[in-house]
Amino acid sequence: MTEAEAIARLKRIATSDAARGLLDDAALLGDLVLTHDSIAEGVHYLAADPPESVGWKLAAVNVSDLAAKGAEPLAALLSLTLTGDDGWETRFLDGLEAAFAEFGLSLIGGDTIALPDGTPRVLGLTAIGRAAPRTPSRSGGEAGDRLWLVGTLGDGAAGLAQLLDDPAASGPLVEAYRRPQPFLAAGKALAPRANAMMDVSDGLLLDASRLASASSVAAHIDLAALPLSDAFLATRLGRLFAATGGDDYALLLALPESVDPFTIPLPSGINVTAIGRLAEGEGLVLTDGDTPVPVPERLGHEHRGHQYPPVDRRFAGAGVGHGDRGPASLKPT
């Protein structure tokens, strides 16, 4: 069963309005926003990753969903798996505690289970936030809206690729993969004006297609406009690698044509880029400037219940027309 098939089946029991039809990043229950993400060893993080970074990442991927709703982090429930490695677990909790302090979360409960020796860890967190007066969903986009991206693309996926090549790799791309930084302040500022907003975790093209599908419109994206960091550009991995790799935790939002995000007070240093628009129709339409680009078969990552093969290096250094695969390896939640 694929992730999409599982969600389609689960809709039969998601009968509360709070579920938003399972079309969104989070549930809206009264004045609370709730989200849950799990990370698994060998799927979302490498076994050799520092335990502190795993704890940070578990908190950050959940807080990123709160950021996409413009919510204020309040509290969390932790699902902790114990394997008998006291040193690893202590360092993991140190990283989790640091993230909680950074993001304003307080632990209010959860569950612990012990795993047999050698079992890969699966760690889960439910984050709870205070909803803003307006909480954008994925499904509110309208034809004519412009698509904007907060942050850059490709850094996390490129950092993972570096670690798979060299487990001792370090630098800004590895840091982006291990310690994502949710755009909480930007999310709060932009949410009141956004018709639709979500975080980008499974790859821009896949997540943009989800937003477009939920909003019953088509998403037109200009690959030439995608914001890429200097560190990513130095890898020469290509724009489609960045657009499909995932682990970005950028914010994707649809704003009415009349709304200019540069007139909205945002934290200094925040990168906001126009990358396309929503239009009548369905699916994705890609261009590289004025040149049409075929939509690749692989848009991003969908969980299918299997492990992932190593990064396909045939596409390293490829440009828009050739880099039609991201790092088919560990993937974000």
Give me the DSSP letters along 167-206.
Answer: TT--SHHHHHHHS----HHHHHHHGGG-SEEEEE-S-HHH
Query: Residue 303 has what pLDDT?
Result: 56
Q: What is the C-alpha separation between 266 and 291, in angstroms, rounded? A: 33
Residue 247, token pair as written in the block: 């682990």
pLDDT beyond 80 at 171: yes
Please report the sign of the dihedral spanned by the C-alpha atoms of residue 159, residue 163, residue 166, residue 172.
Answer: positive
- Domain boundary, last residue among 65, 97, 130: 130
Query: Residue 315 has what pLDDT?
Result: 28
57: containing domain: 3-130
Q: What is the C-alpha separation between 17 and 190, in angstroms, rounded? A: 24
Q: What is the C-alpha separation between 320 and 294, in angstroms, rounded? A: 10
Average pLDDT over residues 324-332: 36
User: Is the same domain home to 100 and 176?
Assistant: no
Average pLDDT over residues 73-84: 95
pLDDT beyond 70 at 333: no
Q: What is the C-alpha separation between 254 and 198, in angstroms, rounded? A: 9
Confidence of residue 10 (pLDDT cuts 50, 70, 90): confident
Question: How high is the mean pLDDT of the chain?
Answer: 88
User: Is the same domain home to 235 and 308?
Assistant: yes
Alpha-carbon dihedral angle through residues 176, 92, 83, 162, given to the nearest 10 degrees: 20
- Domain boundary, last residue among 96, 130, 164: 130
User: Is the same domain home to 203 and 240?
Assistant: yes
User: Is the same domain home to 216 and 88?
Assistant: no
pLDDT beyond 80 at 7: no
User: Is the same domain home to 200 and 282?
Assistant: yes
User: Is the same domain home to 189 and 47?
Assistant: no
Number of domains in the chain: 2
- Residue 320 inside a domain? The answer is no
Average pLDDT over residues 214-226: 97
Average pLDDT over residues 7-25: 76
Lowest mean pLDDT among 9-13, 240-244, 276-280, 306-310: 306-310
pLDDT beyond 50 at 142: yes
Strand 272-279 to strand 218-222: parallel, antiparallel, or no bridges (unpaired)? antiparallel
Q: What is the C-alpha separation between 156 and 174, in angstroms, rounded? A: 7
Query: Residue 330 has what pLDDT?
Result: 45
| ∠ CA 194-200-201, rounded to 5° | 150
Residue 182: which of 329, 40, 319, 25 has the closest Cα?
25
Three-class SS of residue 327? coil
Strand 72-82 to strand 106-114: parallel, antiparallel, or no bridges (unpaired)? parallel
Q: What is the C-alpha separation between 273 and 125, in angstroms, rounded? A: 31
pLDDT beyond 90 at 113: yes
